[in-house]
Amino acid sequence: MERQGLRVRERGVDADTNCAAHSYGQAQSFFRAHPCAALFRALLEVRDGRSNVALVAVAWVDMPSPEDARQLQQLVDRDGTGNVTELSRERGGQRFSGDYYRSARDDTTFINVQAEPVGRIRTALELAKLAADNTL
């Protein structure tokens, strides 16, 4: 993102091994039946040159097997099934709509990214899309 002229600032990071405690909906049920090996989360603030701001929540979930990671991605990629709880949500801050969502898998690791514009002007919405598209 920084190569595109965006400024990125870390607003929080967290690591744990209890994914069920940091998730909601069907994703939480999945983690109770298939515990993760590790969870890493980050909250980033992204700014462009015009003072538009987007928050970006990233979660890296290490699962015991590639099949578990595949099943988790299939579940979380469907609307309304829940997700890993964003750091900002746990801290009573920004909630994410899921409008700017991307996911990927690398062997046993499932990664998902959500971006949320701060403000509703068109350029902030474009920044959120750009941030989601370029974080993975």
**Residue 98 pLDDT class (50, 70, 90 cuts):** confident
All residues at 6 or more sequence positions from 9 whose CB lies less than 8 Å from its CB, including other chains: 44, 45, 47
Segment 20-68, tens digit of pLDDT: 999 999 999 999 999 999 999 999 999 888 888 899 999 999 999 999 9
Beta strands in the chain (DSSP E): 7-16, 23-25, 38-47, 53-62, 82-84, 100-106, 109-118
> How many beta carbons lie within 10 A of that of residue 51, not counting itself?
9
Q: How far apart are CA 63 and CA 128, in angstroms?
A: 28
Helix axes 66-76, 26-33, angle to 10 degrees: 170
| Residue pLDDT, tens place only, 104-124 | 999 999 999 999 998 767 777
Mean pLDDT calculated for residue range 75-89: 94
Cα gap 37→129, rounded to integer Å:
30
**pLDDT score, position 48:** 86
Q: Where are the domains of the chain?
A: 2-135
Sign of torsion, CA 117 42 136 24? negative
The Cα–Cα gap between 75 and 103 comes to 11
Contacts of 83 by beta carbon, 8 Å cutoff, 6+ apart? 23, 24, 25, 27, 59, 76, 98, 112, 114
Please give the Cα distance from 12 to 56 (Å, whole number). Answer: 11
The CB density around residue 110, as the number of other CB atoms within 10 Å, is: 27
